[in-house]
Structure 1
Amino acid sequence: MTTSVLVPSSLTREAEDKREATRKLGYVARAATVFRADRLTIVPDPDGERKLDGGFVETVLRYAATPPYLRKEVWGTRDELEYVGVLPPLHVTPRTGSGSDDSGSLRQGLVTEVGSDGRVRVNCGMQHPISLAVPSDMEVSEGERVAVRIYSRRPVRAKLVDEPLPGFAVDRADLDEALSRADAGVRIAASRHGVELTTDRLGQLVEAIHGEDDGAGDLTVAFGAPERGLPAIMGIDPDDVGPTDVEDVVTGSESDTTRFDLWLNTIPDQGSEVVRTEEAMFATLACLSLTE
């Protein structure tokens, strides 16, 4: 099961300065972490960008997704990271396997040295980089991030594993590309112009997301920017969004207009004229992460 979250490059357009923009991105990263998003994709919105463009957004989100013990080595000093001290800690929950072959905590590591004996040195947050054997079916290079499963710290017992890294990945992609991925699953546009979420509709939607078909459980949720929702970003009239019927998701109907399976309003009685992107992420992902 894969959960992808799409946010626009104009995400920080209302921020007064770099410090406030950094703080906002920190809450976006928190939402992605809390609800176990696998991928955070930045969708280009050049018409909505202001002083801080998509490059800034991508850099700060990538930094936030990097474990604290690797940040200095990976990022060094960059202008975009001037105020990263205001980022809230993510505290990514270690994933622990249940079987005898994969028990132990999974951590992200950075390859600092590649030896000629089939071993590498990896910085994975221990007191010192550790030497690990490279499995025969893996190829790694210096500077690459890898997954390390740690069984014991004293004495150190760990191995490289070919598994997804803990936390979420950050990338950039056009909207069409992001919505056409093999693991896109149910594609939802979070918008005040969508159908209002109710308890009945939520039950139907959860059933559709976690159905029995191949790829069941995969989910892609897209969000807009402050004062610039998804219709504006996509260049369509708000009255033309669709589908807005949960039945279309349940029956697997295709949309030939906006490329989403459903436009959904998860805050139907909002008390503020503008719901910030990070607020919409918490409200929407909290609902959609529920299971039957």
Structure 2
Amino acid sequence: MVSILSIFIPDSLTIESKDKKIKTYKVGIIGRTAAIFRVNEIIIYHDEFGNSKEGKFIKDILTYMDTPQYLRKDIFPLTNNLRYVGVLPPLRTPHHPTGQPKVGELRQGLTLKSTKKGTIVNIGAKRLALCKEKLPIYKVYTFRIKKLGKRILVERDIPENVYWGYKVKYINKPIEKAIKMKKYDSIIATSRKGVPITFVLEEIENIIHNTHHLAILFGGPYKGLPTTLDREIDMKINTIPNQGTETVRTEEAVLATLSIFNMLQHKK
């Protein structure tokens, strides 16, 4: 069964539009979709129509989205890339709590300063918290709340059996090189020229149930995935057979594909 899900998207994702607000919203669809379907890692690769400026923009928006609201002002400076983040949909994932902290609750926290007693941490409470462990400053960790009151005590913990957001990487290399940066158990490419998914549902289901770390690859707005990938992947599929439009945008392909994979993974 898939435990780790990675998706690859191109740095040309936003190249079609010159309006930064539209670009921001477009990336927001990717982030929201990734959270809905429990994507663990989003890798942005370089294709011939993209550039590092667009790649960094996509990375900034996706990273901002994944960061809990109470930490954003401390972590992100006001930059032009984040000018229109107000149009982004909230993720509403478990690591984005909206209420007051509770004892036993897991929260992401930003380490602010060291003291003789440990490390002062912002966990989004009315007061700063204390972790008795000495930790590097201005780093985000996951903490469990041990005590509330005049003094809030927390300790580092690891979330288990809960979706805790996604990581974002920008690998400024062609996808053929980007997919070799890490070992994946199975790699599936999406393409209009791929085998219609209705023909290979059993094969896809078998891959899902026998794969620990799955990578799904998506092409850009002007050109699909290169054919040189064919020897590196396990399967190339078309997840929107008989499409009614001339083209399918990357964010639309991500939504359609992850929806199908989610259904197959939880099929009884």
**Normalized against structure 2, the TM-score is what?**
0.84
- 1:18 aligned to which of 1, 17, 20: 20
Runs of 4+ in 1 over 4 A off after TM superposition: 151-157, 162-165
The residue that corresponds to 1:133 in the other structure is 132
Question: Gaps (5+ residues) in structure 2?
Answer: 97-102
- Equivalent residue runs for 1:78-117 within 5 Å: 78-94=79-95, 104-117=104-117
CA distance in 1, matches of 2:125, 2:214: 35
Task: Report the Cα distance in structure 2 between the residues aligned to 1:157 and 1:218, rounded to whole angstroms.
Answer: 35
Contact preservation (8 Å) 2:68, 2:95: no
Change (3 A) 1:153 1:189: farther
* 1:210-249 residue CA offsets vs partner (Å, 9 max, x unmatched): 22xxxx3321011112122212xxxx4xxx774xxxxxxx
Q: Does 1:223 align with 2:218?
A: yes
Question: Partners in 1 of 2:225 and 2:149 — Cα distance?
Answer: 51
**SS of corresponding position for 1:122:** strand
CA RMSD of aligned residues (A): 2.6
Q: Give the match for residue 180 of structure 2.
A: 180
Query: For the residues of structure 2 that align with 1:58 and 1:13, how far apart are their CA atoms?
Result: 14
3-state secondary structure, aligned to 2:236: strand
Matched residue, 1:169 = 167
> 2:161 aligned with 1:160, yes or no?
no
SS in 1 for 2:121: strand
Match of 2:237 among 261, 264, 276: 264
Amino acid at match of 2:23: A
Query: Is the Cα–Cα contact under 8 Å of residues 18 and 52 in structure 1 kept in the other structure?
Result: no
Deviation, structure 1 residue 22: 0.4
User: Relative contact order: is structure 1 or structure 2 higher (C-alpha 8 Å, sep ≥ 6)?
Assistant: 2
Residues 103-125 of structure 1 show CA distances to partners (whole Å, capped at 9, x for unaligned) of 944322111112233x1111121
* Other-structure match for 2:72: 71
d(CA) in 2 for partners of 1:44 and 1:22? 19
Note the C-alpha offset of 1:285: 0.7
- The amino acid of 2:78's aligned partner reads T
Map 1:230-241 to 2 at 5 A. 230-231=225-226, 236=227
Q: Using the alignment, how far apart are the partners of 1:202 and 1:115 within structure 2?
A: 57
Matched positions, count: 252
Rounded to whole Å, the distance in 1 between the matches of 2:143 and 2:183 is 25
Query: How many Å separate the matches in 2 of 1:208 and 1:59?
Result: 32
Asked if the contact 2:49–2:222 (Cα under 8 Å) also holds between the matched residues in 1, the reply is no
Partner letter of residue 221 of structure 1?
I
Against the structure 1 CA distance between its residues 94 and 54, is the aligned structure 2 distance closer, same or farther, given a 3 Å change threshold? Answer: closer
1:76/1:262 Cα in 2 relative to 1: closer, same or farther (>3 Å)? same
Note closer, same or farther for the CA distance 1:267–1:191 as it changes in structure 2 (3 Å cut). same
Note if 1:123 corresponds to 2:122: yes
Change (3 A) 1:90 1:263: same
Select between 150-159 and 29-38 the one with higher mean Cα deviation.
150-159
TM-score, scaled relative to structure 1: 0.78
Partner of 1:284: 257
The one-character-per-residue Cα deviations of 1:21-64 (angstroms, maximum 9, x if unpaired) are: 0000000100110011111111012x212796212121112111
Q: Is the 8 A contact 1:8 1:223 kept in 2?
A: yes
The residue aligned with 2:201 is 202
Cα drift, residue 171 of structure 1: 0.8
Q: Percent identity?
A: 34
